[in-house]
Amino acid sequence: MLFTALLATSVAILGASAQNSYPFQKYTIAAAGINASFIPYGARLTNLLVNDKNGNPQDVVLGYDNGTQYLNDTETVHTYFGAVVGRYANRIKNGTFTVDGVTSHIPENENDGHDTLHGGTVGYDQRNWTVVSANASSITFSLLDLAFEGFPGNIITYATYTVSAGPQWTSRLVSIPLDEPTPIMLANHVYWNLDAFNVPSNPTVLNDTLYMPYSDRYVEIDNIEVPNGTIGIVNGTFLDFTSPKQIGTDILSAVNNCGFGCVGYDNAFILDRPRYSGPESTDISVLTMSSNVTGIQLNVRTNQQSLQIYTCNTLNGTIPVKQSQEHGNSTTYVPKYGCVVIETQQWIDGINYPEWGQEQYQIYTVDSEPAVVFAQYDFSILPSS
């Protein structure tokens, strides 16, 4: 019934003109075994439904039922649920960087003015993107960034989302500089719960399994989660997911790992692809996550060289799940560790560490290739034991 209702909404909406639109209008696309909904506010994913092991559709991403609730979120807890973040995702130390001898200063919107997070005070997540194309299985948004937040130069970005049989969701973020050299690093900021809150008595992801076979290294951070310039090795630490492991296995050992006094994961894992796969190759899965509750397994492929993994350490049980995720007789709220954010991106704050060799992946010009963030999310069902 839920799939049928959403599909009917999709047909009605997609028949409308795809132009500048109400920022909270929902657009739904669908293919066999999957449908996904988006709003222009932040080019944001609001729902993603795939079938579980029993053939029932499950909504596996966090968000809100009413589009206007995302504005309230921005003005209060500011989770960045489902949005595109940019122009530069993640953190910039002191909000400052230098490109071609020109120093730029971006508003420091985190940690009492010590760093910039996700593009500054008004990032891409708060912008009303334009719908430029939409059909039954794909939608494209665009955003013209006129030197927002003090970033150098103007750029135009297209976000194209497509669903296909598999089931599979593909995200392509393409940014083109229009005049000046500038850093560009976008990411989808999607919160996942593959259990889909089917067990209200245990709404966390701690029993879900996470596997990142090519994440042998990570970017070390200080006590406000800004890189300190050191590259660490995960072997023998609680950060080692190079073999499949439940998320909760070592999480209580991750003390001060996600900032001072924080317990959990919020780390940039470097992707060291195998020798016969290129540094931006998308031929292999770089992350696998699965739920024994629903049987849903997620495989991620991307052209990016890092995965930022955040285990919702700061959520505190005050945000209710969506109606599509209610499975009990009372309201379920998202607790600490109630989700996982997977950000496919380049190395955090790489623009301030030239010794890392990230310039070619983070600095773009009018005569360079565009900045492209490709991410593909493949869903399957775990084999029966």
Report how far residue 4's alpha carbon sits from residue 21's, in angstroms, rounded to the nearest whole number. 25
From 343, 355, 359, 369, the catalytic residue: 343
Report how far residue 331's alpha carbon sits from residue 210's, in angstroms, rounded to the nearest whole number. 27
Could you give the count of Cα atoms lying within 13 Å of 47 in the half-sphere of its Cβ?
A: 28
Known catalytic membership, residue 149: no
Neighbours of 170 (CB within 10 A): 17
At 217, list the tokens: 């290294």
Nearest to 184 by CA among 307, 46, 304: 304
Write the burial class of residue 318 (CB in 10 Å: 0-12 exposed, 13-18 middle, 19+ buried).
exposed
Report how far residue 171's alpha carbon sits from residue 262's, in angstroms, rounded to the nearest whole number. 31
Helix (H, G, I), strand (E, B) or coil at 255: strand
Report how far residue 99's alpha carbon sits from residue 103's, in angstroms, rounded to the nearest whole number. 6
Report how far residue 186's alpha carbon sits from residue 182's, in angstroms, rounded to the nearest whole number. 13
From 149, 180, 189, 225, the catalytic residue: 189
Report how far residue 130's alpha carbon sits from residue 23's, in angstroms, rounded to the nearest whole number. 9
Non-local CB neighbours of 129 within 8 Å, separated by 6+ positions: 40, 41, 42, 43, 84, 141, 142, 143, 159
Classify the phi-psi angles of 259: left when phi > 0, otherwise alpha if psi is within -120 to 50, otherwise beta.
left
Write the burial class of residue 151 (CB in 10 Å: 0-12 exposed, 13-18 middle, 19+ buried).
buried
Q: CB–CB of 343/307 below 8 Å?
A: yes
Tell me how many degrees the CA angle 300-30-17 measures, rounded to the nearest 5: 120
Known catalytic membership, residue 343: yes
Q: DSSP letter at 321?
A: P
Give catalytic residues, as residue numbers: 189, 343
